[in-house]
Amino acid sequence: VENGAQVLDFNFDADLIDGQLAMGRFMRSCVTEPAIARVPFMIDSSKFKVIEEGLQAVQGRCIVNSLSLKVGEEDFIFHAKLVRKYGAALVCMAFDEEGQAATFDDKIRICERTYDILTTKCGYMGHDIIFDCNILTIATGMEEHNNYGKDFIDAVEVVRRKCPGCYTSGGLSNLSFSFRGLNELREAMHSVFLYHAIPKGLTMAIVNAGALPIYTDIPDDMRQLLEDVVMNVAPEATEKLLEFASELKEKKAQKGGAGGAAKAVEEWRTQGVEKRLEHSLVKGIDKYIVDDVQECLDDLQLKPLEVIEGPLMAGMSVVGDLFGSGRMFLPQVIKSARVMKKAVAHLVPIMEIENRRKALEEGLDPDRPNWAGTVLLATVKGDVHDIGKNIVGVVLGCNNFRVIDLGVMVPCDQILKKAKEEEADVIGLSGLITPSLDEMVFVAQQMRKEGMHVPLLIGGATTSRKHTAVKIWPQYEASEKVESTGAVPVGGVVHVLDASRSVVVVNSLIQSAEKRIEYMEDIKEEYDTLREDYYSTLVDKRWLSLDEARKMRYTIDFAKYPPPSAPERLGNKYLDAYPLDELVNYIDWTPFFQVYQLRGRYPNKDYPKIFNDKRVGEEAKKLFDDAQELLATVVREKWITATAVVGVYRAFSSGDDIKVLSPDDSGEVIETFYGM
């Protein structure tokens, strides 16, 4: 409010909280604060029960964000009438039963239809209606997204004219998501967009009120590039802005050290071929990719599949890390995927020749397409958002996966039916709104009910690792069963953070049964920890009295168990100057590496596979060699002596204490360990 916000938007659609309860509590708190309550409240949720809870808690006139025709006309009218009953204005999204309005024509068509329903069937006046015509992400590297900004700006002008009295709005952060991590550029893009949209009829926007530079204060070169991208005036506008963003990011990192960058450009081609492939993928350079891939085949004697699963996948993993930490932008990820596609395209014909030969030898069809695997993607029922899913499809397609995209608002039965028909290797579910989380849980339950074995991927803005671990994994938990052919992996759910990670995850899931089981064991371990941590926060920690605690102690009925084996001898056994070279063989090296913050990634997580990890393997091997050298010196020069005492005694419990008996048959108590 102090920074100039004219409306406060409240949203509690988080994955693991009770949104209805939180909305009511917070609204009742806010209305008691005059400094806050002096501006209108926007009650924002994808669940109508949460919206109604907020409306019941707030005096005065609110704004509801949002309703749309995606639920069907009957439900839309019912909810819209309730909103009007509470005296609130209404934000309507440009969605209908067919999905999200992305083009200019769809935005106009849906907004006109919505306006007609609200004014003729629900009793709304024009000034009660706010249309969100969907600000979508531009400059993604995908040509079909280039006109999203201009289409929105043109649409608000027509909507204001055709729907008298209405207002228009939009969420600005969507526009610049491609450049996540570079706030200076994102904020400037928002200002340029508003500069064009406001005169055309944009009356409000969801924006950080304290982070909007003045249009005329934006540097000329940046402003011109942003103008070209927002208004889509040239096909090369995205590429130019991406170059500018990369330079801006580099200047910030190096504080103007351009000489170092030039030197790096000259030197990267002198590195080993695996490093060169990584550099090409990260930088989106396809000039040398075919030559470098061929060098892997010729000089390293790698098979085509080994090149894909080895250096190329390692490079894509680096891309995922950089994008996840905000050091790469979405268009760069798309460029990386296209470089990967070019590399795979060079390898596929070589693999096809070998596969044809094998197929002919085995009497199979040699012309069957040689896909890396089949991935089925869908935005779940009730959700119309698909941009993220579409990008995942592009990235996977560039990596030689057969992608079957079912579109948006896909019911569970259609997903499972198509997965069976197409023999999908992996199913990917996407969702942006909170109700999608419940639908994902339902799909997982149905997959288990039908005895499916296909891994399930979860992605989208509203999803999280924690929610996947707590709510979805238990419904479709990974396991294995033993058949005549060996262990067969069953089920399993993996949360995928973004498109750049999808290739590495899918590739891990379509490998051999043994590797997939190993990968899922790592996921299970991680999710078990997340689940335990989450549930531990929900436990009502109440101190017990001493008597209550004693009543809960564990008791053993020894009569139910076979008698324990008697030890060879009772009493103490002394180990004096035990050979150090024998003890060295029992060292668990994995915690040793973890102490030094060296953690490998699947399938190179633990010792000794950590040495194969592209990220930390080299450093881990150096550390290990140093440790071995030090250990050899310790053993050779006898710096330390290993001496131990092992005692085996009869004992029994007495109240809170443990009584230890003499090794002879006297029954004498020689020691007491006190529990209190």
73 and 191, same domain (yes or no): yes
Q: What are phi and psi of 621, to 5 degrees?
A: -65, -40
Catalytic residue among 436, 464, 500, 502: 436
CB atoms within 10 A of CB 288: 17
Residue after which a domain boundary falls, among 536, 557, 588: 536
20 is a domain residue: no
673 is a domain residue: no
342 and 321, same domain (yes or no): yes
Residue after which a domain boundary falls, among 362, 390, 418: 362
Task: Report CA 198 to chain centroid distance, whole Å.
Answer: 35
Q: Give the CATH number of the domain where residue 306 resides.
A: 1.10.1240.10
Which residue do the tokens 């990008």 mark?
391
407 is a domain residue: yes
Which residue(s) pair with 574 in the sheet? 645
Q: What is the pTM (predicted TM-score) of this model?
A: 0.62
- Secondary structure of residue 157 in the 3-state scheme: helix
Q: What are phi and psi of 91, to 5 degrees?
A: -90, 130
pLDDT at 259: 47
CA distance 54 to 43: 6
- Secondary structure of residue 206 in the 3-state scheme: strand
130 and 221, same domain (yes or no): yes
CA distance 336 to 399: 11
211 and 326, same domain (yes or no): no
25 is a domain residue: no
Q: Exposed, middle or buried by CB within 10 Å (0-12, 13-18, 19+), for 538?
A: exposed
Q: What are the Cα distances from residue 575, in Å, to 149, 586, 634, 663?
A: 77, 17, 19, 19
396 is a domain residue: yes
Q: Give the CATH number of the domain where residue 400 resides.
A: 3.40.50.280
Q: Give the CATH number of the domain where residue 638 resides.
A: 1.10.288.10
Whether the Cβ atoms of residue 423 and residue 371 lie closer than 8 Å to each other: no
Whether the Cβ atoms of residue 1 and residue 198 lie closer than 8 Å to each other: no
- Secondary structure of residue 457 in the 3-state scheme: strand
Whether the Cβ atoms of residue 45 and residue 11 lie closer than 8 Å to each other: yes
**Tokens encoding 405:** 């995209």
224 and 322, same domain (yes or no): no
Catalytic residue among 13, 96, 383, 425: 383
484 and 464, same domain (yes or no): yes
Kind plus residue range of the DSSP H or E element containing 174? none
444 and 348, same domain (yes or no): no
663 is a domain residue: no
406 and 350, same domain (yes or no): no
Residue after which a domain boundary falls, among 217, 247, 277: 247
Catalytic residue among 79, 279, 346, 385: 385
pLDDT at 234: 86
In total, how many domains does the chain have? 4
**Tokens encoding 610:** 């950590």
DSSP 287: S
pLDDT at 487: 62
493 and 584, same domain (yes or no): no
CA distance 208 to 4: 9
Among residues 631, 610, 629, the alpha carbon closest in space to that of 621 is found at: 610
515 and 399, same domain (yes or no): yes
Q: What are the Cα distances from residue 230, in Å, to 61, 136, 182, 236, 567?
A: 35, 11, 17, 12, 80
Residues in the chain predicted with pLDDT less than 50, given as ranges, are: 256-262
490 is a domain residue: yes
- Domain region containing 378: 373-536
Q: Is the peptide bond before 66 cis (omega within 30 degrees of 0)?
A: yes
CA distance 377 to 389: 7
Whether the Cβ atoms of residue 429 and residue 438 lie closer than 8 Å to each other: no
DSSP 102: -
Q: Could you tell me which residues come within 8 angstroms of residue 136 by beta carbon, excluding any fewer than 6 positions away?
A: 102, 145, 148, 152, 174, 175, 387
- Residue by residue, DSSP assigns 558-616 as GGGSPPPPPPS--EEEEEEEE-HHHHHTT--HHHHHHHTT----TTS-STTGGGG-TTT
18 is a domain residue: no
208 and 288, same domain (yes or no): no
Kind plus residue range of the DSSP H or E element containing 190? helix 183-200
**Tokens encoding 5:** 């916000």
Farthest CA pair distance, the chain: 103
CA distance 407 to 389: 9
- Residue by residue, DSSP assigns 109-129 as HHHHHHHHHHHHHS---GGGE
Which residue(s) pair with 168 in the sheet? 131
Which residue(s) pair with 256 in the sheet? none
Q: Give the CATH number of the domain where residue 129 resides.
A: 3.20.20.20
- Secondary structure of residue 220 in the 3-state scheme: helix
CB atoms within 10 A of CB 72: 11
- Is 196 annotated as catalytic? no
Q: Could you tell me which residues come within 8 angstroms of residue 648 by beta carbon, excluding any fewer than 6 positions away?
A: 567, 569, 570, 571, 573
- Is 522 annotated as catalytic? no
The total number of residues written for the chain in this structure: 676
82 and 228, same domain (yes or no): yes
